[in-house]
Amino acid sequence: MQVTRLLAISLGAILTNNFIFAQFLGICPFLGVSKKSDTAIGMGLAVTFVMGIASAITYAVNLILVKLGLEFMQTVAFILVIAALVQFIEMFLKKSMPALYTALGIYLPLITTNCAVLGVALLNVQNEYNFIASVVYGVTGGLGFLLAIYLFATVRERTEFSDYPKSFEGFPIALITSGLLALAFMGFSGLEVWPM
């Protein structure tokens, strides 16, 4: 039962409840870093790492807050944890992968305020997931983000050389493309693989 529940959580986070296309969280880096597929993959991997680690740490932080009767401080505590994690990742990328660090630019610090990362921590609490389910939801939610941003980047690379009206150049064609991708992902809604 536990394995099927984790599989259902995983498929839900990647396809049916994708943070970008179904819950509309994390749109800023999605639109900003998706011009090239290599930077999109780098951002997706960074977000996946942060979401997975943040899910694990915020689970423990939430247990402490509940014991102390400070549940109302969840959002503030979770933001502090996420900010610290992003600082760690930023220092690591700057030292070990300077090309990716430069390519991500301003969007790397924006992971701190990425509502998808905060959203996964808050949804773990709201859905009352245990530790393993929280980490699985965080990692697969990040993988769903990675899938969305990579698909969008590959489509944007192709539309760069496509023929469309001049009034759609730049951001308008990106919004139309993301809307069409969201409609495609909407086809997964109502999908029931394993009845719970």
Weakest-pLDDT range from 14-18, 33-37, 65-69: 33-37
User: What's the pTM?
Assistant: 0.84
Is a pLDDT exceeding 80 seen at residue 138? yes
pLDDT per residue over 71-88, tens digit each?
899 999 998 888 888 888
Give the 3-state secondary structure of residue 109: helix
pLDDT per residue over 147-162, tens digit each?
999 999 998 888 877 7
Is a pLDDT exceeding 60 seen at residue 195? no
| Choice between 55 and 158, residue whose per-residue pLDDT is larger | 55
Q: Count of alpha carbons within 13 Å of 34, Cβ hemisphere only? A: 29
Distance, CA of 152 to CA of 172 (rounded, Å)? 14
Average pLDDT, the chain: 84
**Can you tell me which residue has the tokens 């790397």?**
108
**Confidence at residue 137, expressed as pLDDT on a 0 to 100 scale:** 94
190's torsion region: left (phi>0), alpha (psi -120 to 50) or beta? Answer: left
How far, in Å, are 53, 94, 102 from residue 58 at the CA level?
Answer: 8, 25, 29
Alpha helices in the chain (DSSP H): 2-11, 27-32, 37-68, 74-96, 98-104, 115-126, 131-159, 171-186
Distance, CA of 186 to CA of 164 (rounded, Å)? 25
